[in-house]
Structure 1
Amino acid sequence: MIRKPYFGGNRALDDSKNFSRSEKLAFCSLTFIKGVGEMFFYNGRILTLDPQTKEADYLEIKGNRITQVGNGKISSKDGINLEEKTLLPGFFDTHLHMLNYGLMLKAVNLRDCNSITELIDRVKERVQSETKGAWIFGRGWDENRYNGIFPTRDDLDKVAPENPVVLSRVCGHLLVLNSLALELLGIDESTPVPEGGAIDRDQSGRLSGIFREKAMELVFDRLPKKSLKEVEKALIKAGQSILSYGITTVHTDDLAEFDDIEPLFELYRKLWQEGKIPRTHLHIRSKHLDQAKALGLETGTKLDGITIGAVKIFADGSLGARTAALLEDYSDAPGEKGILIYSDEELYQMVKDAHSADFAVAIHGIGDAASSQALRVIGQVQKEDPRPYLRHRLIHAQILNDEIMEQMVEYGVIGEIQPIFINTDLHWAENRVGERIHTSYNWQTMWQKGIRLTGSSDCPVEPVNPLLGIYSAVTRKDLNGKPEEGWYSKEALSLEQALQLFTSCGAYAGGEEGDAGSLTVGKVADLVVLDRPIDRISLDEIKDIKIDMTIMDGKVVYQRDNK
């Protein structure tokens, strides 16, 4: 439980142990494993992320625990010769959508489309490979690549008159549907628009096919429901991909469309036991709170490798779609301030209900109006009912001001950031917010103020690879290496800070700092081997690092084929 975190053992290291001589074993062979979960690593860059012993010469695991971490000469032993490669704690990604990622792996990928024409052609290709009437799903379109022009139902109707089409914007906060999808879902001009959402219309008042924020629920609630078998297949796809990037723990928001969550908990538990998904903190929504309480669940409840997470709440939308809620107008769209999804009273009740049931909240807040509202409400609830063991979070925390940052420190609210966002955002964010950019994406300032941060990808919004997030955090450049001097480079994190962001900071966010997040004796044997010494290469090279091996719970769950 978060209130009573488990702290692993503190057994002293025995550096004097005599090791028998044996032949040097090639790193890429699995023959060095003496038994399931029994391994010895040496001759590498073993970066522990433990402030007491930051580097080590060797590390041993037995079963699912780290049993030795030491420095000094060793006589030699059967084991894994790292050959100067890096050994780290397994990575954490504290904000992603694992199920959606698995589903999107088979959806139409629109991320690299640079025009409406390319988007239409991509949809046309998929329609030609599907049967008549089959639903077509896609994700990744971005009107910023199309000179600000949004796709419409008419664009999609040209290539998919007999297949319903639903395409999600790259941020996941806008949808575009074709006419057949609207018809099948029973949505037309008379459909009421939910509070906190918007449905776009053309000049004649006809629906354009664009749905924003809470209006998207009209679509999701009416789509055909996924079977548990479909969910399982998607999770396995996503889980295997995530493990291949060295991520051994995720915090995921997957349950929004489901009403009965108990079967989902059992499914995730089974898949973890089979080694098919990483350790998972499973967030719930406010609508699940009564069932969760009836099941005796709260934030931190463990079901083997599955942990009950926070209550996820959206306070606003995305900056790219101009639905993030700002205190003042968008600099590039006078008169627009985005969408604040809930009133203060509504958000207060949601946070109070979660907090009083011993659930932390994870509030999505990108704009300064949304973040200000979230902090105001969390502060009020905490003062009325102090529960300091609950670690509430502000997801994204992008457009801030000094007052918001001071409140994050005062209330102990964790900032859940996505450094990889600057890969795209640095090209247009300043146009959106003007001078407010100086208190935006300001990670080093937040760190120095004492705000607890944690790293994530928001996959499938951005790639799940944590090394891209680490690269972005330390260089403040896009994936093409621009700008060469870095974007507001004073806000870059050091390499040590960035590694903490995706390891020990992630463990803290989940109340697991006593059991995970560093290579410390007694902690769980979740490790990752990188293909080169991360602290001895240029920062620009970090994005090119490959994962050689992922070990979870003492077992090898991924190994790169070097052939």
Structure 2
Amino acid sequence: MNKKAAIAAVIALTSILGACEAPQSVDLILTDARVYHADQHDSLSSTLVIDNGRILAAGDASLLELFEGPTRALQGRLVLPGFHDAHTHLIYGGRQLMQCDLSGLVSIVAIQSKLADCDSALDPEEWLLGGGWNLSLFPDANPNRSMLDAINPDRATVLVGEDGHSTWASSRALALAGITAETPNPPDGVIERDASGRPSGTLRETAQNLVHAYAPAMLVDDVLIGAERAIQMAHQFGITSAIDAATTTEDIEIYEQLKASGALTLRMVLAITMNDPGLGIGSRADIDVSKRGNVEALRTDAAKIFVDGVLEGETAALIEPYDSHAGGHGHLHLDDDELFALVASLHGESVQVMFHAIGDLGVRKALDAVEFAIAEHGPNDARHHISHLQLVDPADRVRFQTLNVTANMQSLWAMPDTYITDINLPAVGEHRVNAMYPFGSLARAGARLAAGSDWSVSSMNPFLAIETAVTRQDATGQIEGALNPAEAITLAEAVRAHTAHGAYLMHQDTEVGELSEGMLADLIVVDQDIFAIPLQDLSETKVLLTLVGAAVVFEREEAGTNG
């Protein structure tokens, strides 16, 4: 008898004997709620009974006659499954929190002011390290070293862009790293140069390694502090499970320390980086599929492959050439033989492959590689997925369903921000901008949609992403217009992408992702019913309570009354 059937039998027996026996004691009862189960039927209930970390029963208030225990009356508030962030960078983002954090700054003046403050807090010989700067604020996404030199000409400053594919360095940092006009571009990397051929200060892809190799490493204790802050931020946003989308060998050691100390309260799958875009790499030996599906374990059963770069540096791989003066088709990090052999080898060992693919050629190559791997080894339950999907050729959209490849969307990007209007539009033209982030078309073609934030590239808040997914507008209201509104998805699809489909990607869909009897009690309580408000108000939703296996990992004061 399986877990759900056993629990159903207990409930049935309890109902029969309820008239003559005392109520069954349980760990927690949530009542006076609107529980959205996120199952295939979009079921609703008002009461959840939780025991031993699992949902024992779901129904109406009559369950209160059958069970007793600590009770929270939620005053009609909405209960959802805990969110899955299917693409995040918790260790990397945690480091950024501990450095000079430029994320969210929307002007060059604001960046200069923040950098001046960070500089003044350092000793003369210290490096100024940080990240999160907005590429779209600078012409051609190419900030110059002179701006950093003006703040402090003697400071070695190294700042990673918010996309993780570009680094901005001062003249002092470039000199210490030995990067000069004579330094050639490394394989898969670009040193941006001024008119005289000297490095301008921006390094793309693997060229970032040239300066990062000389920058001092952060102390392990500080990395741990940053990671713990990131985990708490995730719980504040209702995230209970996550996929680390580019894990290095050093990152695994940090996660293991967090797990041992009890600080890792997220369910995690780590996608081990197989090829280096400029910020570190893992090892094939780090991958272990033996713990797949064990929700209590730290799992390393996935691999990450960067197929191409990004449109902002014109390194994303396109079927048709760029419209800019530079032209070209962008860059593939691996040739067909290398990519196909690597994916086939991983697939043959049932390793899940998580692809980074921005351009339509990059997406096609990822799909081609999966198709080749299946032809070589047959289908299995690896559950491969492709992230970003800024451009997907119409001919390739149906292939996601055919090959059982999940579309891992970062829907917060699907609105007409300055990245789209100021950088992407001149580079690829209006016809391709009007086809960007085709999530609606992918869903209509039968693709399974999962959702990830790509934090710290963009906000970790799922409700910002959900609103953008269903409106294709800026959820903050600061930017007018919509990006390809025909590519919007429904609210139910967006919620499922953040819950059940994320659980599917993590091979834990029999345990979490919906609020059904027998499932683990990973859930959130929010302050408004997202199914009963205007779509433009979705991003205002606040998480009041987050439970992981029924344990409280985040709570606001107004979460509900205890009984």
TM exceeding 0.5: yes
SS at match of 1:154: helix
Aligned residue type for 2:540? D
Residue by residue, what CA displacement relative to the aligned partner does 1:131-165 show, whole Å, maximum 9, x if unpaired? 11222223232342345463211221111223221
SS of the aligned residue for 1:339 comes to coil
* Residue 259 (structure 2) pairs with residue 263 (structure 1): no
Distance 1:513 1:379 in 2: 25
Question: Structure 1 unaligned runs (5+)?
Answer: 1-5, 21-33
Deviation at 1:223, TM superposition (A): 3.2
Of the candidates 269, 286, 289, which is equivalent to residue 281 of structure 1?
Answer: 269
**Larger mean Cα displacement after TM superposition, 397-406 or 241-250:** 397-406
Give the match for residue 377 of structure 1: 369
Contact 1:175-1:216 within 8 A present in 2 as well = yes
1:83 to 2:86 alignment:
no
In 1, distance between residues paired with 2:3 and 2:306? 35
Partner of 1:56: 45
Counterpart in the other structure of 1:31? none
Q: SS where residue 536 of structure 1 aligns? A: coil
Q: What's the offset of the Cα at 1:129?
A: 1.3
SS in 1 for 2:125: coil
What's the CA shift string for 1:445-465, capped at 9, x where partnerless? 111211111001100111101
More helix by share: 2
Displacement after TM superposition at 1:342 (Å)? 1.9
User: Which residue in the other structure is 2:313 paired with?
Assistant: 321
Which SS does the other structure have where 1:469 is aligned?
helix
Please state if 1:170 is matched with 2:162. yes
Equivalent residue for 1:402? 394
- Aligned equivalents of 1:238, 1:419: Cα separation in 2: 21
The aligned counterpart of 2:198 is 206
Counterpart position of 1:291: 285
Quickly say closer, same or farther: Cα 1:149–1:318, change in 2 above 3 A.
Answer: closer
* SS of residue paired to 1:337: coil
- Provide the C-alpha distance between the structure 1 equivalents of 2:138 and 2:450, rounded to a whole number of angstroms: 33
Answer whether contact 1:19 1:74 (CA < 8 A) is retained.
no
Secondary structure of the 1:390 match is coil
2:233 is equivalent to residue 241 of structure 1: yes
CA distance in structure 2 between the partners assigned to 1:178 and 1:19 by the alignment:
77
Instruction: Tell me which amino acid in the other structure corresponds to 2:267.
Output: R
Specify whether residues 134 and 346 from structure 1 end up closer, same or farther in structure 2 by C-alpha distance, changes over 3 A only. Answer: same
Task: Please tell me the residue identity of whatever aligns with 1:404.
Answer: D
**Given the alignment of the two structures, is residue 96 of structure 1 paired with residue 88 of structure 2, yes or no?**
yes
Q: 2:81·2:524 contact (CA, 8 Å) conserved in 1?
A: yes
Q: Residue 312 of structure 1 contacts residue 363 of structure 1 at CA under 8 Å; is this kept in 2?
A: yes
Q: Would the alpha carbon gap of residues 7 and 490 (structure 1) be closer, same or farther in structure 2, given more than 3 Å must change?
A: farther
TM-score for both structures, normalised by structure 2: 0.88
1:557 correspondence with 2:548:
no
164-173 or 95-104, which moves further after superposition? 164-173
3-state DSSP of counterpart to 2:345: helix
- Pairing partner for 2:149 from 149, 152, 157: 157
Select the residue among 331, 338, 363 that pairs with 1:339. Answer: 331
Over 3 Å counting, the alpha-carbon distance change for 1:549 and 1:485 in structure 2 is same
Equivalent in the alignment of 1:253:
245
Once the two structures are TM-superposed, the CA of residue 18 in structure 1 deviates from its matched residue by: 5.9
Alignment of 1:410-489 (within 5 A): 410-423=402-415, 424=417, 425=419, 427-428=421-422, 429-433=424-428, 434-481=430-477, 486-489=482-485
Contact 2:246 2:273 in 1 (8 A): no
d(CA) in 2 for partners of 1:419, 1:262: 28
Quick one: distance in 2 between partners of 1:535 and 1:115?
A: 36
Shift of 1:67: 0.9
Question: How far apart in 2 are the matches of 1:267 and 1:303?
Answer: 18
| Matched residue type, 2:145 | R
TM-superposed deviation, 1:539: 1.1
Amino acid at match of 1:9: K
Q: 2:260 is matched by which residue type in structure 1? A: K
Query: 1:121: Cα distance to partner?
Result: 2.8
Moved more, 239-248 or 298-307: 298-307
Q: 1:219 aligns with which of 211, 226, 236?
A: 211
Residue in structure 1 matching 2:30, options 11, 20, 41: 41
Match of 1:506 among 488, 491, 502: 502
Deviates more, 1:95-104 or 1:342-351: 342-351
Count the aligned residue pairs: 537
- Find the aligned partners of 1:106 and 1:435 in 2 and give their Cα distance: 41
Say if 1:150 and 1:121 are closer, same or farther in 2 by CA, change over 3 A: farther
Instruction: Give the match for residue 27 of structure 1.
Output: none
**Identity percentage over the alignment?**
28
Residue 174 of structure 1 deviates from its aligned partner by 0.7
SS in 2 for 1:253: strand
Q: Taking structure 1 as reference, are residues 545 and 7 closer, same or farther at Cα in structure 2, changes over 3 Å only?
A: farther
Asked whether the 8 Å contact 1:269–1:304 carries over to 2, the reply is no
Cα separation, 1, equivalents of 2:436 and 2:444? 15
CA deviation string 1:213-233 (max 9, x = no partner):
122233334433344323322
Structure 1 residue 490: Cα displacement: 2.2
8 Å CA contact retained: 1:298, 1:357:
no
Q: Secondary structure at the match of 2:319?
A: coil
Residues 456 and 379 (structure 1), Cα distance of their counterparts in 2 relative to 1, 3 Å cut: same
2-side partners of 1:206 and 1:525: how far apart? 57
Whether the 8 Å contact between 2:269 and 2:299 is mirrored in structure 1 is yes
Distance 1:114 1:285, change over 3 A: closer
Q: Report the CA distance shift for 1:171/1:177 in structure 2 as closer, same or farther (over 3 A).
A: same
Q: Distance in 1 between matches of 2:555 and 2:72?
A: 13
Q: 1:231 aligns with which of 200, 223, 228?
A: 223
Counterparts of 1:352 and 1:228, CA distance in 2: 36
Q: What is the distance in 1 between the residues matched to 2:230 and 2:319?
A: 37
CA contact (8 A) 1:281 1:306 kept: yes
Contact 2:466 2:494 in 1 (8 A): yes
2:453–2:459 Cα contact (<8 Å) kept: yes
Name the residue aligned to 1:306.
298
Give, in angstroms, the shift of residue 244 of structure 1: 1.0
What residue in structure 2 maps to residue 28 of structure 1? none
1:361 alignment partner, SS class: strand
Classify 1:187/1:432 alpha carbon distance in 2 versus 1 (closer, same or farther; 3 Å): closer
Aligned-pair CA distance for 1:235: 1.1
Are residues 132 and 562 of structure 1, via their aligned partners in 2, closer, same or farther at CA, if it must alter by over 3 Å? farther
Question: 1:19 & 1:545 partners in 2: Cα distance?
Answer: 41
Kindly report the root-mean-square deviation, in angstroms, between the aligned alpha carbons of the 2 structures. 2.8
Within 2, Cα distance between the matches of 1:7 and 1:320?
Answer: 50
1:196 matched to 2:188: yes
Give how far 1:562 is off: 4.7
Gaps of 5+ in 2: 275-280
State whether residues 141 and 169 of structure 1, in contact with CA within 8 Å, keep that contact through their aligned partners in structure 2: yes
1:274-320 per-position Cα deviation (integer Å, ceiling 9, x unaligned): 24441111111226444236xx5468274834222421111112223
Match of 2:369, SS? Answer: helix
Using the alignment, how far apart are the partners of 1:426 and 1:151 within structure 2? Answer: 18
* 1:514-534 superposed Cα distances (whole Å, 9 cap, x missing partner): 111000111111110101111
Distance 1:348 1:299 in 2: 26
